Amino acid sequence: MSDKKVSVEFVEDVALICIDNPPVNASGVAVRQGLVAALSEIKEAGRTKAIGLYCAGRTFVAGADITEFGKPPLEPLLPDVCNNLEDFETPIVAVIHGTAMGGGLETAMGCHARVAVPTAKVGLPEVLLGVLPGAGGTQRAPRLSGIPNALDLILSGRHVPAKEALEMGLIDRIEEGSIREVALAAARNVILGKLPTRRTCDLVTPRDDAALEAAMAMVQKKHPHLISPQKCVEAVAASVGDFKQGLATERAAFMACLPSAQSKGLIHAFFGERAVANIPEKKAQARDVAVVGVIGGGTMGSGIATSALMAGLSVTLIEVTQEALDRGVATISANLDGAVKRGKMSDAKRDAALGRLTASTDMMTLADADLVIEAVFEKMEIKKDIFAKLDGICKEGAILASNTSYLDINEIAAVTKRPADVLGLHFFSPAHIMKLLEVVVGTQTAPEVVATGFALAKTMRKVAVRAGVCDGFIGNRILGHYLKAASYLVLDGAHPYQVDNALERFGFAMGPHRVGDLAGLDIGYMTRKRLAPSRPTEERYGGAIADQLSENGWNGRKTGKGYYVYDGRETHENPDLNVILDAERTKAGGAPRAFSDDDIVDRYMTAMISEAARVVEDGIALRPVDVDVVFLMGYGFPRFRGGPLHYADTIGAAALVERIESYAKEDAHYWQVPALLQQMAESGRTFADMNKGR
Ligand code: T1G
């Protein structure tokens, strides 16, 4: 197959330019060079009256080639290619299918008209990568659709369906048919005067200072940490003036964002969410899953059932009593209503989903399920009893999964005669909203069962990360470790509110105490009691303050009081907290001292990175990026920082080792240098190096 990315086909007085650069026709340098060459070829031929530009494969250009970011720019640059298209003397019609994103839509806006098939979507999602449309998008979109629409598109990064794009003025027509035929017909319509064309740069953007001011205020409030949203607004503002000056303003803004750590973090996140699908079992044949059994209709079970129903699967929900079953069904129904309210599904789809739900108190109903997910109490004995029963009930080849958040999958598998069909599917609450799924692989889990877990995640529009078996797998194991660091900070003098505020300024959606109140402080309380027998004697106990809160019945939001007091939608400081802090600090015998916000962030992050390094070292996570994706998708880690181990590379292993060694002077048991980090400090290897090619 020729590696030519762009071809020209002459059909009488029409020329068709076809871009063919799988998988998504990203406009890498070969595509850009090919487009320039195609225009020269057409000019040379001299007989063309109109041009149709379209793409082969599943989509129109999905954007600039993000893999080129951070490397020396290769001519011709995309902005120049878009200007070449616009300046070309023969009218060009872009024909859009799939998703014309970023540089793809910019390429289309550089053309003289745009036609889309009904299923096409367009967007300018560059802000999600920490940059902004850098090939004229901030100047052409406002000229075509006005400043409010352009700001909506550019600041949200959302995918706009063809019909809405037509209403916005981004496209001119919607036509059915095969892409090449639509392109040929569109070009012919130009020649017949049936499809008007114009240079976008000749249009004038209507002033709208109010929209610009409102947008700037919104991004400063909503994204105080981020650079590119404000730069987006500034660039769009320039679109009311001279076009070439506007392009220069856009270029400057783009170049201010591109080298930023934020953009590097967001791009790491983008590729990371795809890299985690690269597992050893990738080639194994996943089993078909049409009917999913869910045991337990509590928060998790009903959330999992909702997610499966929304993905088009049939669900059999099992509970022990009719009352519990009714509660589960009611929760599922409420979850689906919420999805309709959020515009995630239509009424009809909601009704169809409920039609696929079977609810029963009889486990025999699971006999024909393809995969069963147990989501009951986190008690090993209860789970073992259920898996032993399932083993006898479920058909051969059915997969048995536990939603346990930390228990040993191997121990559960051992009570069945089918350990190869057993794995962990650890969903995150609320399961019908959170995208992360830890697929926990037991020592005997068969490759096709792992592959089925990943296929199920894709069906449920979740991101699966492969995890080995240990207490807490990837996320909760690391969480348990760094929460101890937070508790030591508080015992040593930092106020819980200062810890929360410092970490929220770092970029976390919520600090650990606010998260604890939201999840329920009793969860941590029960975990500490569960782990108490195995806690090493030399380990400093940090849970006394949280224990006091739980023993007072103050378990957070659900009880109206925890670290904070909750009054409806209002959150206030807990006036009884300081007495507990003083009492427990006195009991601990330390001398409370002040910590700066930086101290707090450094200790918290160093603790997180240390345990994350051990999780990689132990092979519980396949790669560092897998840990990053777990924390980005499941623990509110700030996306622009790329995840704990991407962030670790910005500090450097040697500096991290130094920090741990200095902290170890206070607590040599807790602060130990992970062997992997020590090796990295000596060799200069980075976590990014460990991700390469894996
Ligand atoms: N560059 C390079 N590779 C890309 C890519 C891109 N723009 N988009 C996708 N891929 C890879 C992806 O990593 C995966 O690789 C494969 O293609 C399939 O992707 C100047 C500067 C288009 C909605 O942000 O949103 O233009 O894992 O699994 O689910 O203003 O891809 O198979 O090896 O996501 O069908 C702006 C990013 C770029 C769009 C398709 N564009 N892409 O989703 O497939 S910046 C974007 C997407 C820019 C200009 C600026 C999605 C998709 P692998 P996939 P999908």
Q: Are 393 and 364 in contact (CB under 8 A)?
A: yes
Distance CA 51, CA 18 (A): 11
Beta strands in 416-500 (DSSP E): 422-427, 436-440, 463-467
Distance CA 503, CA 328 (A): 36
Q: Which residue has the tokens 């032993």?
A: 388
Element (H, E) at 327: helix 322-341
Residues 324 and 221 in one domain: no
3-state class (DSSP) for residue 149: helix
Q: Are 594 and 499 in contact (CB under 8 A)?
A: no
591 domain-assigned: yes
Residues 518 and 458 in one domain: no
Please state the φ and ψ torsions of residue 119, each to the nearest 5 degrees: -90, 0
Dist. CA 24 → ligand 1 center (Å) = 7
CB half-sphere exposure, 31, CA atoms < 13 A: 27
Considering only CA atoms, which residue is closest to atom 55 of ligand 1? 24
Q: Residue 506: pLDDT above 60? A: yes
Atom number in ligand 1 closest to CA 271: 13
Dist. CA 319 → ligand 1 center (Å) = 42
Neighbours of 210 (CB within 10 A): 10
Residues 189 and 228 in one domain: yes
> Which amino acid makes up residue 259?
P
Distance CA 379, CA 373 (A): 15
Domain endpoint, select from 252, 282, 307 = 252
Residues 342 and 303 in one domain: yes
Q: Are 627 and 474 in contact (CB under 8 A)?
A: yes
Considering only CA atoms, which residue is closest to atom 44 of ligand 1? 24
What pLDDT, on the 0 to 100 scale, is given for residue 589? Answer: 87
What pLDDT, on the 0 to 100 scale, is given for residue 4? Answer: 86
267 domain-assigned: no
Atom number in ligand 1 closest to CA 124: 36
Dist. CA 126 → ligand 1 center (Å) = 11
Distance CA 466, CA 471 (A): 15
Q: Are 421 and 400 in contact (CB under 8 A)?
A: yes
Considering only CA atoms, which residue is closest to atom 15 of ligand 1? 274
258 domain-assigned: no
Condensed to tens digits (0 to 9), the pLDDT of residues 20-44 reads 999 999 999 999 999 999 999 999 9
CATH of the domain at 427: 3.40.50.720
To test ligand 1's pocket by mutation, which of 5, 24, 454 has the most ligand atoms within 8 angstroms of CB? 24
CB half-sphere exposure, 173, CA atoms < 13 A: 21
Element (H, E) at 93: strand 92-96
Dist. CA 62 → ligand 1 center (Å) = 6
Distance CA 511, CA 525 (A): 18
Provide the domain count of the chain.
3
Condensed to tens digits (0 to 9), the pLDDT of residues 118-159 reads 999 999 999 999 999 999 999 999 999 999 999 999 999 999
Domain endpoint, select from 462, 492, 518 = 462
363 domain-assigned: yes
Tell me, what DSSP letter sits at residue 215? H
Residues 637 and 509 in one domain: yes
Distance CA 548, CA 541 (A): 13
Distances 298 to 30, 242, 326, 358, 634 between C-alpha atoms, Å: 54, 60, 11, 16, 20
Atom number in ligand 1 closest to CA 62: 22
Q: Are 77 and 119 in contact (CB under 8 A)?
A: no
Considering only CA atoms, which residue is closest to atom 51 of ligand 1? 62
Tell me the pairing of strands 6-11 and 14-19: antiparallel
To test ligand 1's pocket by mutation, which of 58, 66, 131 has the most ligand atoms within 8 angstroms of CB? 66
Dist. CA 26 → ligand 1 center (Å) = 7
Condensed to tens digits (0 to 9), the pLDDT of residues 437-464 reads 999 999 999 999 999 999 999 999 999 9
- Among the residue ranges 91-95, 280-284, 584-588, the one predicted with the least confidence is 584-588
Residues 571 and 662 in one domain: yes
Average pLDDT in the 279-303 region?
Answer: 96
283 domain-assigned: no
Domain span including residue 427: 291-462
Q: Which residues, at least 6 apart from 547, have a Cβ–Cβ distance to it below 8 Å?
A: 525, 528
Task: Report the percentage of the chain scoring pLDDT > 90.
Answer: 94
Which of 355-372 are b and which e, b meaning 16 or more Cβ less than 10 Å from the residue's Cβ? ebbebeeebebbeebbbb
Average pLDDT in the 411-430 region?
Answer: 96
How far does the chain reach from its first CA to its final CA, in angstroms? 27
Band of the pLDDT at 74, cuts 50, 70, 90? Answer: very high
Distance CA 456, CA 335 (A): 20
Cα–Cα nearest to 28, from 120, 104, 98: 104
66 domain-assigned: yes
Band of the pLDDT at 694, cuts 50, 70, 90? Answer: confident
Cα–Cα nearest to 484, from 541, 532, 536, 531: 541
Q: Which residue has the tokens 């930086």?
A: 598
Tell me, what DSSP letter sits at residue 621? B
Considering only CA atoms, which residue is closest to atom 18 of ligand 1? 23
What pLDDT, on the 0 to 100 scale, is given for residue 1? Answer: 46
Four-CA torsion 416, 418, 420, 421, nearest 10 degrees: -90
What pLDDT, on the 0 to 100 scale, is given for residue 519? Answer: 86
Residues 226 and 365 in one domain: no
Dist. CA 448 → ligand 1 center (Å) = 28
Q: Which residues, at least 6 apart from 422, have a Cβ–Cβ distance to it below 8 Å?
A: 387, 399, 400, 401, 402, 409, 412, 413, 416, 442, 444, 445, 449
What pLDDT, on the 0 to 100 scale, is given for residue 147? Answer: 98
Residues 83 and 116 in one domain: yes
Q: Residue 350: pLDDT above 70? A: yes
What pLDDT, on the 0 to 100 scale, is given for residue 2? Answer: 57
Dist. CA 63 → ligand 1 center (Å) = 7
Condensed to tens digits (0 to 9), the pLDDT of residues 655-676 reads 999 999 999 999 999 999 999 9
Where helices occur in 223-321 by DSSP H, the ranges are 228-237, 243-257, 261-275, 299-310
Considering only CA atoms, which residue is closest to atom 42 of ligand 1? 62
Dist. CA 310 → ligand 1 center (Å) = 25
Q: Are 423 and 468 in contact (CB under 8 A)?
A: no
Considering only CA atoms, which residue is closest to atom 41 of ligand 1? 63
Residues 49 and 179 in one domain: yes
DSSP 353-376: HHHTEEEES-GGGGGG-SEEEE--
Considering only CA atoms, which residue is closest to atom 14 of ligand 1? 274
Please state the φ and ψ torsions of residue 251, each to the nearest 5 degrees: -60, -45
Condensed to tens digits (0 to 9), the pLDDT of residues 314-329 reads 999 999 999 999 999 9
3-state class (DSSP) for residue 689: helix
Residues 441 and 368 in one domain: yes
CATH of the domain at 28: 3.90.226.10
Band of the pLDDT at 429, cuts 50, 70, 90? Answer: confident
With a Cβ cut-off of 6 Å, ligand 1 is lined by 23-24, 26, 62-67, 78, 99, 101-103, 106, 125-126, 129, 131, 133-135, 137, 271, 274
100: tokens are: 């014309």
Considering only CA atoms, which residue is closest to atom 20 of ligand 1? 134
Residues 449 and 530 in one domain: no
Cα–Cα nearest to 694, from 633, 646, 622: 622
Distance CA 239, CA 247 (A): 8
What pLDDT, on the 0 to 100 scale, is given for residue 114? Answer: 98
Average pLDDT in the 150-174 region?
Answer: 98
> Which amino acid makes up residue 43?
K
Q: Are 600 and 498 in contact (CB under 8 A)?
A: yes
Distance CA 629, CA 642 (A): 8
Domain endpoint, select from 232, 252, 272 = 252
Condensed to tens digits (0 to 9), the pLDDT of residues 192-223 reads 999 999 999 999 999 999 999 999 999 999 99
What pLDDT, on the 0 to 100 scale, is given for residue 560? Answer: 94
What pLDDT, on the 0 to 100 scale, is given for residue 591? Answer: 85
Distance CA 80, CA 201 (A): 14
The mean of the pLDDT values for the chain is 96
168 domain-assigned: yes
Catalytic residue IDs: 106, 126
Residues 227 and 120 in one domain: yes
CATH of the domain at 658: 1.10.1040.50
Dist. CA 272 → ligand 1 center (Å) = 12
Condensed to tens digits (0 to 9), the pLDDT of residues 525-571 reads 988 898 899 999 999 999 999 999 999 999 999 899 999 999 988 99
Band of the pLDDT at 387, cuts 50, 70, 90? Answer: very high
273 domain-assigned: no
Tell me the three-class secondary structure of 290-313, residue by residue: CEEEEECCCHHHHHHHHHHHHCCC
Distance of CA 425 to the CA centre of its chain: 18
Tell me the pairing of strands 436-440 and 50-55: unpaired
